Structure 1
Amino acid sequence: MSDACARFGGERADWLDLSTGINPRPWTPPEAMAIDWHALPDPAGLAHLEHIAAAAFDVDPRLCMAVPGSEAGLRALSSVLGLPGVHQPLCYGTHAEAFPSSPGASEASVRIVGNPNNPDGAITAREALLDALDRQEALGGWLLVDEAFADCSPQWSIADQVAEDRRLIVTRSFGKFFGLAGVRLGFVLAPPYLLRQLGRMHGEWPVCSAALAFGAAAYGDAAWIAATRAELPTRARQLDTVLQRHGLRPQGACPLFRLVASNNAQSLFEALARQHILTRPFAKHPRLCGSGSRRTIPRSNALTQPWPVQVSMAEPIALAALALDAVFGWPERLYRVVGHPVGLFARVIRTCERQWNRSNRSFARRRLLGAVTLALLVALSGGAALLLEGAIQALAGPWAWPFVAVAAWPALAQRSLLDHYQPVAAALSRADLPEARSAVSRIVGRDTAELDEGGIARAAIESLSESFCDGVIAPLFWLLVCGLPGAWAYKAINTADSLIGHPEEPLRAFGWASARCDDLANLAPARLSAVLICLAGAGGWRVLRQDHGKHTSPNSGWPEAAMAGALGVRLAGPVRYDGMTAAKPWIGQGGAPRLEDMWRARAIFLRACLLAWLGAGGVEWLL
């Protein structure tokens, strides 16, 4: 803290210290507690403390020894055991310092396991620890379990397995859970002959009188211990919510601290320090930054200034949502029970359109009311998604992402696009033109009654390529950039554009805002879709460059031109709407698409979706 003040300014009182895992709400001794500072520590008081602590640890008092801090106990054990250490890949620094590894040593060693581990908060299962103990005993070594944070949840502890005939050592810390690190009190639980050797090292008075009094009283305060164990998980979830709100993914099961991994960990540390929030970076692991649970969470909301950290949605959510959509789509049975969120959007839009898009209102007023409709829809969809995401994170903490993925799943449409596209190709395969026309009429707005094979294939391929942007890449893009609210706000905009964003009357004015916002929301996704289609089709770049601007939409021409170029066919061109022919320019070079081109387009679509999956995973790795 002194170094932080010197480097970043401020006094200690100005700082929020998240750099340790020490309980910020310490146990408070009773006012009547008297400590005799004049006399040496009482041996009877030491025995009393060790009996009370042993009862708290569920161990025989003969196997419990008080030491001046668990770290001091670890270093003393190194001298007593005289064996090399085997550590966890990410471990407390004293483990490696006290028990250096020695590749040339014999098989006998001290295997040190932090449980919970510091700094990643990982929990090692009891069965795994017992298996490790059996292996160490067979080799003539020891298992040393550092339970400095185990008072938070006693079910993690293996202290009850310490026995005279077992090569198991457990260390415990008083200062972490009770929030009194300055008392310098810890315990070593080990066979008596080992404790006698430690006793000779520490002498007759291993801990001070204050430690004896504080330790005995604190371990005997069952009410405070129970209340603190109940409160710590709630405070940890509050910290998780703050971290996740700013795009950070906390790790760890110990409620006294969290670990965050980021390629920008040093920048994150410095950005927080400039706001007088102290965390702990790890020099040997530059992607890691640690934080402890503190007294109050609201001050952590100072995390509002921009720093070069990550976007607000972690890609396991995106990948899980993509997987759910690819496997299940939106099942018909589920649709019959709960419908689909887009259906709710449509009802809101139609209600507003009926009430506000009346011919007796001026063009400007109808355009304004159309913008209000869109703003209302985006606020409802994005706001509901934001509240849902926050509630999930508050309830599930680090395990929120699978539940958020389920909430994001309906925003994607990989499976739905194929489910509507494939019946068209299947009907053409049977030379059943009436059925093919009927199937394609479900996915396009043009007149289909007189389409031949080429016209049906052209309509279906155009729909697949455009919908690859609207139904897959755009919602995925906004999910990655803005989280669950981004995905559903986009779906609201896209639905509004589909229903009212038309240039013809009576929707020209009322749908103007929806059409323009959809153009803006698809600006980047459309171009990304085109690139993925060209990559998946191993070509089409020249047609993409030359013809993407021939479409009336500033975005739809990109994936369409990419697909036309990859297939070597012509898309777009003249089409009929409500009996009237619209003279649209051709996109692409070559002949009209046929059945075989439909199957090739399907393969390109699938490969492009796979590339999107890989891209989401790549973004995850970069962050």
Structure 2
Amino acid sequence: MDIRPRLSGTAKAVTDHGGSLVRAAALFPGAPTPWLDLSTGINPHSYPFPPLPATAYARLPEEARLAELAALAARVYGAPDGAHLVAAPGTQVLLPLVAALLPAGPAMVLAPTYAEHARAAALAGHAVEEVEDFERLFEARLAVVVNPNNPDGRVIPRDRLLALAAHLHGRGGLLVVDEAFMDVGPRAESVAGDVGAGGLVVLRSFGKFFGLAGVRLGFAAAMPAIAARLSGWLGPWAVAGPALEIGMTALADTAWQETMRKRLAAEAARLDRTLAAQGLAVSGGTDLFRFLRLPAASGLFETLGRHGILVRSFAGRPDCLRLGLPGSDADHARLEHAFQTWRAAGAAGSA
């Protein structure tokens, strides 16, 4: 099937993301630099990969090496085997391709969540509805759940997801579960090991947990026929040689992964204590970010921005903020100082 006509339509470009220091500098031109970017859910402690062989840059990636990467990722993520995995230059590239696995029809995204899922489904021609009731997803042909959710960390239990996948599969539909943050989530709730039953595609991000977003590497787990179909659409050499080699090294380093999970949990707990000291209750999140709801969210965003600290705000949800983890004691102290300034200004304003 030629998917190009279905991906050629226009769709509004989504700019409501974290991570743009150019936009931050334009919004807060007098802010001190360097910026402390807490607007993403990316691990501030990047995986320390060794120097890469020159062949990673000079030669096209070998198909056999890509198969090794798929097999390794399958073991790490719990998928049945490498035939159920397809590697891509980031999961973002996969979103419209996965949506294009089905003919255009009704699609539902469990919201509020990462905005690109709805946009990608629209690009593939679907009539997209964002819903907040999980049970509504049973009405869809294509359903999307981010689990753990971005930005609030909501987790849908595995058994509920499998029931939905079975229902959709029985009527020719598909459930897409984005597990971008499952590396720091309740891994027992992952459905990556269940893709062999059909009706299910699971997305896994490499860059967030390993702190290497610029490497651009991600995976889709699915039945072998679907994985092969996605691979065919991506074409040969979709994953760059350096990304392939970094992915192989990092995914094989299980000791680093377990140590990092403990470190991130401790640092998230530290951030919780800092927030609590300012009277801020955590409403959700994962060990890579914390989610806040407060009436004064816009004021806090402004104060932090003037201190050169970028956090994630949300268009249409002015009472919500998401904060990533500070990467050092100095960064944490800088955040604490900005919080204290914000709290003092609030106290002075109410006096």
| Number of the residue aligned with 2:270 | 238
| Number of the residue aligned with 1:511 | none
| Number of the residue aligned with 1:102 | 127
Residue 250 (structure 1) aligned with residue 285 (structure 2): no
Matches within 5 A, 1:166-315: 166-296=198-328, 297-302=332-337, 303-306=339-342
| Number of the residue aligned with 2:179 | 147
Aligned mates of 1:250, 1:187 — CA distance in 2: 31
Aligned mates of 2:101, 2:143 — CA distance in 1: 15
Deviation at 1:183, TM superposition (A): 0.5
Residue 74 (structure 1) aligned with residue 109 (structure 2): no
Distance 1:162 1:285, change over 3 A: same
Of structures 1 and 2, the one with the larger relative CO (CA 8 A, separation 6+) is: 2
Matched residue type, 2:342 = P
Aligned mates of 1:10, 1:49 — CA distance in 2: 45
Aligned mates of 1:208, 1:13 — CA distance in 2: 33
| Number of the residue aligned with 1:93 | 115
Residue 65 (structure 1) aligned with residue 108 (structure 2): no
Of 70, 77, 81, which aligns to 1:50? Answer: 70
Identity of aligned residues (%): 38
Residue 126 (structure 1) aligned with residue 158 (structure 2): yes
Distance 1:176 1:138, change over 3 A: same
| Number of the residue aligned with 1:597 | none
Length-normalised TM-score, structure 1: 0.47
Contact map agreement 2:121 2:128 (CA 8 A) in 1: no
Distance 1:11 1:284, change over 3 A: closer
SS of residue in 2 equivalent to 1:90: coil
Of 186, 193, 201, which aligns to 1:160? Answer: 193
| Number of the residue aligned with 1:18 | 38
Aligned mates of 1:73, 1:228 — CA distance in 2: 27
Aligned mates of 2:204, 2:245 — CA distance in 1: 17
Structure 1 window deviating more from structure 2 (218-227 vs 40-49): it is: 40-49
Aligned mates of 1:75, 1:103 — CA distance in 2: 13
Bigger helix share:
1
SS of residue in 2 equivalent to 1:231: helix
Aligned mates of 1:137, 1:129 — CA distance in 2: 12
**Residues 14-66 of structure 1, C-alpha deviations (whole Å, 9 max, x = no match):** 21111000000010112465553121122121111111111111212110000
SS of residue in 2 equivalent to 1:37: helix
SS of residue in 2 equivalent to 1:215: helix
| Number of the residue aligned with 2:12 | none
Matched residue type, 2:127 = S
Aligned mates of 1:135, 1:76 — CA distance in 2: 22
Task: Return the index of the structure with the highest Cα Rg.
Answer: 1
| Number of the residue aligned with 1:370 | none
Matched residue type, 1:99 = A
SS of residue in 1 equivalent to 2:70: helix
**Residues 489-527 of structure 1, C-alpha deviations (whole Å, 9 max, x = no match):** xxxxxxxxxxxxxxxxxxxxxxxxxxxxxxxxxxxxxxx
Matched residue type, 2:29 = G
**Residues 262-291 of structure 1, C-alpha deviations (whole Å, 9 max, x = no match):** 222222211110011100110022211111
| Number of the residue aligned with 1:616 | none
Matches within 5 A, 1:222-621: 222-296=254-328, 297-302=332-337, 303-306=339-342
**Residues 166-187 of structure 1, C-alpha deviations (whole Å, 9 max, x = no match):** 1111000000000000000000
Bigger strand share:
2
Aligned mates of 1:51, 1:175 — CA distance in 2: 18
**Residues 147-173 of structure 1, C-alpha deviations (whole Å, 9 max, x = no match):** 01111243331111110x411110000
SS of residue in 1 equivalent to 2:169: helix
Deviation at 1:310, TM superposition (A): 7.7
Distance 1:115 1:295, change over 3 A: same
SS of residue in 2 equivalent to 1:170: strand
CA-based RMSD of the aligned residues comes to 2.4
Residue 7 (structure 1) aligned with residue 27 (structure 2): yes
Residue 84 (structure 1) aligned with residue 106 (structure 2): yes
- How many residues are aligned here? 310
**Residues 386-417 of structure 1, C-alpha deviations (whole Å, 9 max, x = no match):** xxxxxxxxxxxxxxxxxxxxxxxxxxxxxxxx
Deviation at 1:10, TM superposition (A): 6.1
Contact map agreement 1:264 1:309 (CA 8 A) in 2: no
Deviation at 1:245, TM superposition (A): 1.5
Matched residue type, 1:181 = A
Matched residue type, 1:305 = T
Contact map agreement 2:285 2:291 (CA 8 A) in 1: no
Aligned mates of 2:140, 2:189 — CA distance in 1: 26
Matched residue type, 2:49 = P
| Unmatched 5+ stretches in structure 2 | 1-20, 130-137
Contact map agreement 1:22 1:181 (CA 8 A) in 2: yes
Deviation at 1:102, TM superposition (A): 2.9
| Number of the residue aligned with 2:61 | 41
SS of residue in 1 equivalent to 2:27: helix
Deviation at 1:79, TM superposition (A): 2.1
| Unmatched 5+ stretches in structure 1 | 312-480, 482-623
**Residues 307-333 of structure 1, C-alpha deviations (whole Å, 9 max, x = no match):** 59988xxxxxxxxxxxxxxxxxxxxxx
Matched residue type, 2:151 = P
Contact map agreement 2:43 2:209 (CA 8 A) in 1: yes
Matched residue type, 2:113 = C
